[in-house]
């Protein structure tokens, strides 16, 4: 019976971590694999509940984009200039650099924090649970301070 419980806990931990990584990859791929993608700066001109938009200036002239949108949580305030990478085929941008990279992995950081009690208590691996929690907390705090 103990083996079944441990297998179930391990499966839930694995599910949490895979879901966190999957959610993060949608944005993180544009930041991490940015070679060959359009780079530039976005000056925020206005925000609504979910997105901010602004004037886009590409690093290499000849871009088809003049205005882009970015997630509101990434662009802090009106007038701020952010380094961005354009998502191919869209009018959306993601923040580049350390701040954008850490922000992209926030869902994984949350998944690590959710999985930590299951690892520490459910699987009875206390040191590993604390390590998983520390990694998740470091990721969340790093994103907070980088943005």
Query: Domain locations in the chain?
Result: 2-30+105-138, 36-95
104 pLDDT exceeds 90? Answer: yes
Residues in the chain: 147
- pLDDT at site 15: 98
Please report, for residues 44, 61, 84, 86, 100, the alpha-carbon distance to residue 47 in angstroms, rounded to integers and kept in the order given. 8, 26, 17, 18, 18
SS3 55: strand
75 pLDDT exceeds 60? Answer: no
CA dist 147 and 145 (Å) reads 5
14 pLDDT exceeds 80? Answer: yes
CA dist 16 and 92 (Å) reads 28
- pLDDT at site 1: 84
State the pLDDT confidence band at 76, using cuts at 50, 70 and 90. Answer: low
More confident residue, 35 or 140: 140
State the pLDDT confidence band at 35, using cuts at 50, 70 and 90. Answer: confident
8 pLDDT exceeds 70? Answer: yes
Tokens for 5?
Answer: 């419980």
Which residues, in sequence order, are CB contacts of 64 under 8 Å at separation 6+? none
């Amino acid at each position: 019976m103990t083996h079944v419980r441990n297998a179930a806990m391990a499966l839930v931990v694995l599910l949490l971590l895979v879901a966190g990584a999957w959610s993060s990859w949608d944005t993180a791929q544009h930041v991490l694999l940015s070679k060959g993608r359009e780079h530039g700066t976005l000056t925020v001109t206005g925000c609504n509940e979910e997105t901010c938009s602004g004037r886009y200036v590409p690093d290499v002239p000849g871009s088809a984009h003049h205005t882009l949108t970015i997630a509101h949580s990434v662009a802090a305030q009106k007038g701020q200039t952010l380094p961005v990478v354009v998502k191919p085929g869209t009018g959306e941008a993601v923040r580049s650099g350390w701040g954008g990279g850490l922000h992209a992995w926030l869902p994984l950081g949350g998944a690590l924090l959710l999985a930590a009690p299951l690892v520490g208590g459910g699987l009875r691996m206390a040191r590993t649970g604390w390590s998983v929690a520390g990694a998740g907390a470091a990721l969340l705090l790093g994103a907070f301070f980088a943005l």
